[in-house]
């Protein structure tokens, strides 16, 4: 769960989920109520028949046996035991079930819709490519860019500094830092003016990009990555490709959902080119891009066209309406409180593969519920006529003591069958991934080109919410 959310809060959510009902529980309750009236009627019929047949001793014994046999213990335990065990299993595997109906509906899903930023990606930019111009090494390029950005709090700047630390390059000191509105940042380094910024810098300074660098930057832009350049005294040192890093587990999550026969969609406010690049790399089936926050709920509604059962997975305030609109909502544990409150299931470990675990748990839980209901119902349908003496004519009579044992055994069998659910192995992992993202400040000069909208048109697979 997010930092600051106490363990007692998690325990409270588990307790609420275990106490909550489900449609199958409601069915079991109706069956148990019906069994009560069936027991009373069967007992009355048994007593009346054998009493007026002259066998008054057996009339009392067989009536008591019918009432013992018909005790609805098995039906009463059939669902609550499975609910308690499945909720416990979910919590042990990083799935906090807030709403039993949400878990129950997961077995019928046709599509899972992921929000991109912070769900399929880490939510913070990283350096995914470096291109040094002739006469400059990559280490020198990174060291100079990191020196300029060392005092900045912007995600793009922090990504360059983090890359410098990761590579262990020399740490240089820069002075006279200056933010260039809409273009980048500038500082004085070893007596030279060094600037880090977007394509507008090159256009204004009329700097020519070497073919070796231009080939890479063109490919990066086509992939939807943000390109930053580093210039020293009107000479290009090189370029960086920046992107919101895709979680390494996202691709596996998509593959597992496809294995379960579920289509996968992605919604995002990013450009179509960025969305198409992410979708292509991890195997997304459908994409809705360039959406405003209010459009996400509309996109989910359109995915539901034709009666499709759709789940929404998100983490932010902007995702809350979509989470509430979907047939079931799942919130990333590191997400906002608003998103978590709008969801029926919370993925504590921030791992999209846990969506697969939730669906598998839902299907296994439903199978156990049905098995227990079938056993408890079949037991009563067979045992009550035998206890009432219906087959005495062919030598089959059920003593009261055997009836009591049979009733106890039926309860034990239901309880034991529910315990078998503990052997379920979910497609989830035991480690956690830490969210690194933070809100992007609109006051920083990089924000003008953080997610450029003038990129090439997207492939046919992508489209806006209106085109879904």
Please tell me the predicted confidence (pLDDT) of residue 25: 61
In this predicted structure, what is the pLDDT of residue 454?
31
Rounded to the nearest 10 degrees, what angle do helices 272-282 and 250-259 cross at? Answer: 70
Identify whether residues 103 and 141 lie together within a single domain. no
Domain boundary, last residue among 205, 220, 245: 245
**Which region among 77-91, 228-242, 294-308, 356-370 has the lowest average model confidence (pLDDT)?**
77-91
CATH (domain of 205): 3.40.1110.10
Q: Give residue 436's pLDDT.
A: 32
Residue 109 has pLDDT above 50, yes or no: yes
- Whether 372 and 408 map to the same domain: the answer is yes
pTM greater than 0.75: no
In a domain, 250, yes or no: no
115 catalytic residue (yes or no)? yes
For residues 133 and 102, membership in a common domain is answered with: no
**pLDDT tens-digit readout, 249-259:** 999 999 999 99
Evaluate whether residue 332 is within a structural domain. yes
* 261 occurs within a structural domain: no
Mean pLDDT of 189-194: 89
- Answer with the one of 196, 224, 245 that is the final residue of a domain: 245
Same domain, residue pair 94 and 181: no
Strands 328-332 and 310-314: parallel
Q: Is residue 272 part of a domain?
A: no
Count up the domains in the chain and report the number.
2
Q: Mean pLDDT across the chain, nearest whole number?
A: 80
pLDDT in tens, 151-169: 887 778 889 999 999 999 9
Q: What is the pLDDT of residue 28?
A: 63
Helix (H) or strand (E) holding 186: strand 184-189
Pair (140, 234) in one structural domain = yes
pLDDT 10s digits, 325-362 = 999 999 887 656 666 777 889 888 888 999 999 999 99
Q: Does a structural domain hold residue 378?
A: yes
Lowest mean pLDDT among 152-156, 167-171, 189-193, 224-228: 152-156
Which entry of 29, 55, 110, 115 is annotated as an active-site residue?
115
What stretches of 308-384 adopt beta strand conformation (E)? 310-314, 328-332, 345-347
Residue 252 lies in a domain: no
- Whether residue 129 sits in one domain with residue 96: no
> What helix, strand, coil percent values describe the chain, rounded to 5?
55, 15, 30
Q: Work out the average pLDDT over 307-326.
A: 87
Secondary structure (H, E, C), 240-296:
EEEEEEECCCHHHHHHHHHHCCCEEEEECCCCHHHHHHHHHHHCCCEEECCCCHHHH
Q: Is residue 368 predicted with pLDDT exceeding 80?
A: yes
Q: Are residues 95 and 145 in the same domain?
A: no
Range of the domain at 342: 1-63+79-108+316-349+354-427
């Amino acid at each position: 769960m997010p930092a600051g959310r106490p363990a007692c809060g998690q325990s409270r959510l588990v307790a609420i989920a275990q106490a909550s009902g489900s449609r199958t529980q409601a069915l079991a309750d109706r069956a148990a109520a019906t069994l009560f009236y069936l027991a009373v009627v069967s007992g009355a019929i048994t007593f009346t028949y054998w009493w007026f047949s002259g066998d008054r001793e057996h009339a009392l014994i067989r009536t008591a046996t019918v009432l013992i046999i018909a005790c609805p213990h098995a039906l009463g335990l059939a669902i609550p035991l499975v609910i308690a065990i499945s909720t416990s299993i979910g919590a042990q595997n990083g799935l906090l079930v807030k709403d039993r109906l949400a878990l129950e509906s997961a077995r019928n899903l046709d599509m899972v819709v992921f929000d991109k930023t912070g769900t399929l990606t880490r939510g913070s930019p990283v350096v995914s490519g470096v291109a040094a111009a002739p006469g400059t090494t990559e280490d020198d390029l990174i060291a100079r860019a990191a020196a300029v950005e060392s005092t900045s709090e912007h995600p793009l700047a922090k990504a360059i500094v983090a890359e410098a630390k990761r590579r262990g390059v020399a740490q240089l000191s820069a002075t006279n830092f200056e933010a260039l509105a809409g273009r980048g940042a500038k500082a004085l380094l070893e007596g030279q003016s060094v600037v880090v910024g977007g394509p507008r810098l090159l256009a204004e300074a009329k700097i020519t990009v070497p073919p070796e660098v231009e080939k890479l930057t063109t490919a990066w832009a086509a992939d939807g990555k943000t390109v930053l350049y580093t210039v020293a005294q009107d000479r290009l040192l090189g370029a960086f490709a920046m992107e919101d890093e895709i979680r390494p587990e996202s691709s596996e999550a998509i593959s597992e959902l496809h294995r379960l026969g579920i289509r996968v969609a992605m919604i995002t406010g990013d450009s179509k080119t960025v969305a198409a690049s992410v979708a292509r790399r991890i195997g997304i089936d459908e994409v809705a891009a360039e959406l405003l926050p209010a459009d996400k709920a509309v996109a989910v509604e359109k995915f539901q066209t034709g009666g499709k059962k759709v789940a929404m997975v998100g983490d932010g305030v902007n995702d809350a309406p979509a989470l509430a609109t979907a047939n079931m909502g799942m919130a990333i544990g590191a997400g906002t409180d608003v998103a978590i409150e709008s969801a029926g299931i919370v993925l504590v470990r921030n791992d999209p593969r846990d969506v697969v675990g939730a669906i598998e748990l839902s299907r296994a839980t439903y199978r156990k519920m049905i098995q227990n209901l079938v056993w408890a119902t079949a037991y009563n349908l067979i045992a009550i006529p035998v206890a009432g003496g219906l087959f005495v004519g062919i030598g089959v009579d059920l003593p009261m003591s055997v009836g009591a044992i049979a009733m106890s055994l039926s309860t034990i069998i239901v309880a034991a069958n529910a315990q078998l659910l503990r052997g379920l192995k979910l497609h989830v992992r035991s480690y956690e991934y830490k969210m690194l993202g933070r809100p992007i400040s609109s006051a920083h000069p990089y924000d003008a080109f953080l997610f450029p909208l003038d990129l090439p048109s997207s492939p046919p697979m992508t489209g806006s919410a209106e085109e879904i």
